Amino acid sequence: MSKKILDLLPGLALAVVIAIVARFLENMLPIHLIGASVIALFIGMLINHYYKSDKLKPGLKFTSKKILKFAIVLLGASLSIKTVLTIGKLSLTVMIFTLLTCFGGGYIIGKLLKLNWKLSNLISAGTGICGGSAIAAIAPVIEADDNDIAYAISATFLFDMAMILLFPVMGRALGLSDMAYGLWAGTAVNDTSSVVAAGFAFSEAAGDFATMVKLTRTLSIVPVVLIFSVVSAKIKQSEAGEKQNSAYSRKKVKISSIFPWFILGFVALTMVNSTGVIPNEFGLLAKDISKFLMVAALAAIGLNTDVTEMKKSGIAPMVHGFIISALVVIVALVVEYFMGII
């Protein structure tokens, strides 16, 4: 146990230091144009470009995965279940339309670009649900190879980077309210960390709202993975020319292994807070700690990102990712408009 903790320390410590620097630089800026999350991400990427060490990897992986999820759980201490249910209900309509856009449009675009169905759907899942987490959950079910997974993650990552920078600017240019922007970012930006970065770069209220929306959207991993398990089984039956045992799908999918536990923790803490047991001061402290841990997690993600490797992803998957991402951004705004939110 002590050895595992010592292995985590170098990467964790570096991420925390970068988070402290990022928060300091954010406070030094005369105009709140770029948040600490974005600053930490790019500091991490810059350091990783010039310095790499295997000693950092365990701590960076722990920070970018476990710490980020724990930060989201902590956020529940400052929210009420009424707020979460209201946001979930509000985001459901937008989420349905963006998911249909991703998988419907993704299928057509994938065919036009002559991408294999696995790569096309991995990119669509990363864009429509939650970036790398959705890709990681679906990949083993459809038996995607490493190249497909790398292409898909690269495509969603690159456009996440663009969205982090462009969303706050576009949101202000469109004159969006905190709620409208939070709903837009929560449904149109891919990965959880990127939603956090884009949300809080606009405002604290928008960041909170975007995170809530993203948590609701993440729940769609479960039905989507189950659907793809059935699709994959059918395709295997067709290719093999013989009936596959229905146990195949059950073997490939375990709800317990794909269901995001941190959402359960988040909802549980929110429910406890809704009872009034948690003092308001503790809720505000938990929120501050949560935001700092999110910045540290983004620093770790930056330290894990190799820009040189990203260049090897090719053109067609990037075109696919760009078109789908653009369609989702537009569809989310249009749906909000017709819902009377904008």
* pLDDT tens-digit series, residues 242-273: 554 544 444 454 555 555 677 678 778 878 88
- d(C-alpha 58, C-alpha 255), whole Å: 26
pTM summary value: 0.67
Comparing 126 with 307, the larger pLDDT belongs to 126
Comparing 102 with 241, the larger pLDDT belongs to 102
Grouping H, G, I as helix, E, B as strand and the rest as coil, residue 166 is helix
- d(C-alpha 16, C-alpha 31), whole Å: 24
Give pLDDT, residue 249: 46
Give pLDDT, residue 290: 87
DSSP 220: T
pLDDT band for 130, please (50, 70, 90 cuts).
confident
Give pLDDT, residue 228: 81
**What is the residue whose two structure tokens read 């709202």?**
209
Give pLDDT, residue 250: 47
Give pLDDT, residue 11: 92
**What is the residue whose two structure tokens read 């990552």?**
157
**Residues 40-81 pLDDT 10s:** 888 998 899 888 888 998 999 898 888 888 887 887 787 777
- d(C-alpha 162, C-alpha 221), whole Å: 24
- The CB density around residue 319, as the number of other CB atoms within 10 Å, is 15
The half-sphere exposure of 135 on its side-chain side, counting CA atoms within 13 A, is 26
Domain boundaries, the chain: 10-48+61-241+250-339
